């Protein structure tokens, strides 16, 4: 297996991972087949998981991968400024494939392109790379109503860049386990060095990566609250440090992610929007809720209701 346009070191690293997995597979199958996974075998499995995770994290820290990602990011930004996404609605699926092709220049996205979602998955018929490309296109489509070439300066420019970075990198953690609910934590681990490299590229080394971290780490937060995996009260307490701009950007990242999942029930999407609104209300961001109601009048009832678990 060869991957184009990556460093020799990165390619060798992944080949070592594949070789290690191949050697370990027969042993793991044997253990499972005998239904006799004892303490020693469990240690072997844990060691395998740790080594694979370490290898993938090292790949996420590869400088050449950062260079490629910066090129892709800059291409998307310039195409947006040139108005190339203005007709996105008319050729949406074609653009999704084009964006996925760009993402596949990065090794982690290449690896995720080989994954196949199960028939019961909301992502059935796709893979994490195609999903990410779809989220990017959904976000760019919405961004065209928020940002223009004329107003894309100062903090507007950085909101654009931070949100685009978040949607590009939000699911990187799925390379290790696409069904793991905590993949967002791994996503930030893999994304951190890339974000730092991009900030350095724009001569803003001092720019905090906290907002990008927040969007990536919390992009599934409303769904976790709805499913009972995260208590609303604990999330609200943790969010006391969060400012209005963070919640605004999280809304657009979450909205783009949900729009990209065609099999996600509309009732679940509405529930997530309501939870976001409840958090904003309890944080005192009433004006932000009013802003979203004005921009998305179809969500007015959803944004104004409260759920009983709060």
Which of 106, 128, 102 is CA-nearest to residue 117? Answer: 128
Query: 29-43, 168-182, 280-294: which has the minimum mean pLDDT?
Result: 29-43
| Euclidean distance between CA atoms 85 and 148, whole angstroms | 12
Question: Residue 206 — very low, low, confident or very high, per pLDDT cuts 50/70/90?
Answer: low
d(CA 129, CA 22): 24
Token pair recorded at residue 294:
């004005």
- Cβ atoms of 167 and 135 within 8 Å: the answer is yes
Range in 22-26, 226-230, 249-253 the model is least confident about: 22-26
As given in the structure block, the two tokens for residue 123 are 């992502």
pTM over 0.75: yes
Tokens of 257: 């992610």
d(CA 168, CA 172): 9
* Tokens standing for residue 211: 């907002």
Which region among 37-41, 198-202, 244-248, 288-292 has the lowest average model confidence (pLDDT)? 37-41
The pLDDT tens digits of the residues spanning 14-25 come to: 455 545 444 444
Report the C-alpha gap between 100 and 95 in whole angstroms.
8
Whether residue 261 contacts residue 132, with contact meaning beta carbons closer than 8 Å, is answered with no
Helices (H), the chain: 8-34, 39-60, 63-81, 92-103, 107-113, 128-143, 154-169, 183-201, 210-218, 221-226, 232-238, 244-259, 266-282, 286-295, 300-304
> Reduced to 3 states, what is the DSSP secondary structure of residue 145?
coil
Burial 201-233 (b: 16+ CB within 10 A, else e): beeeeebebebbbbbbbbbbbbbbbbeeebebe
Mean pLDDT confidence for 275-285: 96
The angle, 0 to 180 degrees and rounded to 10, between the axes of the packed helices 92-103 and 128-143 is: 120
- Cα separation values, 231 from 62, 124, 223, 260, Å: 37, 29, 11, 26
Domain spans of the chain, in order of start: 1-60
Q: CB-based contacts of 182: which residues, under 8 Å, 6+ apart?
A: 173
The rounded distance, in Å, linking the Cα atoms of 108 and 123 is 18
Nearest alpha-carbon partner for 128 in 102, 141, 140, 110: 110
Query: What digits encode the pLDDT tens for the residues 116-128?
Result: 776 666 767 789 9
At residue 150's C-alpha, the angle toward residues 145 and 152, to 5°, is 70
Find all residues with CB under 8 Å of 62, minimum gap 6, and list them.
6, 7, 9, 10, 13, 107
More confident residue, 234 or 49: 234
Residue with tokens 């409303």: 222
């Amino acid at each position: 297996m060869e991957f184009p346009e990556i460093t020799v070191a990165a390619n060798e690293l992944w080949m070592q991972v594949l070789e290690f997995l191949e050697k370990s597979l027969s042993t793991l199958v044997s253990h499972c087949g005998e239904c006799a996974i004892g303490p020693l075998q469990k240690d072997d499995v844990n060691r395998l998981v740790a080594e694979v995770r370490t290898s993938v994290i090292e790949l996420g820290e590869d400088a050449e991968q950062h260079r490629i990602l910066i090129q892709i990011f800059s291409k998307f930004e310039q195409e947006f400024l040139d108005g190339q996404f203005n007709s996105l609605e008319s050729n949406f699926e074609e653009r999704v494939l084009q964006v996925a092709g760009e993402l596949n220049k990065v090794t982690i996205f290449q690896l995720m392109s080989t994954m196949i979602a199960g028939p019961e998955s909301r992502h059935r018929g796709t893979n994490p790379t195609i999903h990410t490309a779809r989220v990017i296109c959904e976000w760019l489509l919405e961004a065209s109503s928020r940002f223009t070439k004329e107003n894309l300066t100062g903090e507007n420019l950085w909101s654009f860049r931070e949100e685009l970075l978040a949607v590009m990198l939000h699911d990187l953690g799925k390379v290790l386990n696409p069904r793991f609910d905590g993949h967002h934590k791994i996503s930030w681990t893999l994304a951190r060095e890339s974000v730092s490299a991009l900030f350095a590229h724009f001569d803003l080394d001092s720019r905090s990566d906290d907002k990008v971290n927040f969007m990536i780490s919390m992009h599934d937060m409303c769904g976790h609250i709805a499913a009972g995996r995260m208590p609303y009260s604990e999330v609200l307490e943790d969010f006391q440090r969060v400012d209005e701009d963070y919640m605004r950007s999280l809304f657009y990242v979450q909205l783009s992610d949900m729009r990209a999942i065609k099999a996600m029930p509309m009732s679940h999407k509405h529930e997530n929007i309501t939870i976001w609104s409840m958090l904003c209300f309890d944080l005192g961001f009433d004006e932000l809720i009013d802003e979203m109601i004005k921009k998305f009048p179809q969500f007015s009832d959803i944004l104004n209701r409260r759920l009983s678990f709060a």
